[in-house]
């Protein structure tokens, strides 16, 4: 369970990272929209786990590795934005948020189930 402080700090990081990716994300991943879906912060506020969603990109693992390779540069830009609000700039760990893929898979399963002929209910 995250404390209010962690939640507030995660929100600040999420907003600022979103602005960084919106302005300069094209330099890291051309023609790809990067969305920060969730940020989780450790209790000591030293590590921020950032969950990303990639749109208009077929290889999410390659995109994630590219973002990870620029992690120190992204952290520096984040630090420039939040330096007056925090004591330490957290280390950034990036992960793929596969919620959209999971939802699409579940929708496909439900569609398949709804197309199958129904068994008549047998009641005695």
Give CATH superfamily name and number for 4-115.
K homology (KH) domain (3.30.300.20)
CA distance 6 to 90: 12
List pLDDT tens digits, range 22-50: 998 888 888 888 889 999 999 999 999 99
- Report whether pLDDT(99) > 80: no
Q: What is the DSSP letter of 55?
A: E
The angle at the Cα of 4, spanning 8 to 97, to the nearest 5 degrees, equals: 60
Place of tokens 């120190």: 72
Would you place residue 14 in the very low, low, confident or very high pLDDT band (cuts 50, 70, 90)?
Answer: very high
pLDDT score of 42 = 94
* Mean pLDDT across the chain: 88
């Amino acid at each position: 369970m995250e404390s209010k402080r962690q939640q507030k700090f995660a929100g600040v990081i999420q907003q600022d990272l979103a602005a960084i990716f919106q302005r300069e994300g094209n330099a890291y991943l051309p023609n790809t929209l990067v969305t920060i879906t969730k940020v989780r912060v450790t209790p000591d506020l030293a590590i921020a786990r950032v969950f990303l969603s990639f749109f208009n990109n077929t290889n999410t693992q390659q995109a994630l590795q590219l973002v990870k390779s620029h992690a120190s540069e992204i952290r520096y830009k984040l630090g420039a934005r939040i330096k007056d609000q925090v004591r330490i700039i957290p280390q950034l760990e990036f992960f793929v948020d596969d919620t959209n893929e999971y939802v699409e898979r579940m929708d496909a399963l439900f569609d398949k189930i709804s197309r199958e002929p129904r068994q008549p209910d047998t009641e005695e």
